[in-house]
């Protein structure tokens, strides 16, 4: 990013997982960019898909029926837990 004349496009990273997995991914992101300039934060966007017993997943499922049917379905949870 520092050697480029043009601003690179934003990279979108989708992360689906339970609370522990999402925390691990985001912790790695924070550790890698801790010593970078603030402009680096605009180069990466995370699309979080909380699954399983994640508190955010339970909250989103209360008002988003599509999310609820896709990720809170018992068969999906069973598959994901494997």
Q: List pLDDT tens digits, range 1-34.
A: 566 677 778 889 888 888 888 889 989 988 988 8
First-last CA distance in the chain:
38
Q: List pLDDT tens digits, range 54-75.
A: 788 888 889 988 888 877 877 7
């Amino acid at each position: 990013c520092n050697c480029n004349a043009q601003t690179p496009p934003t990279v979108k990273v989708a992360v689906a997982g339970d609370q522990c997995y999402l925390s691990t991914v985001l912790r790695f992101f924070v550790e890698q960019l801790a010593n970078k300039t603030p402009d680096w934060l605009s180069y990466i966007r995370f699309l979080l898909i909380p699954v399983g017993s994640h508190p955010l997943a339970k909250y989103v499922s209360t008002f988003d029926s599509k999310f609820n049917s896709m990720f809170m379905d018992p068969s999906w949870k069973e598959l994901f837990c494997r």
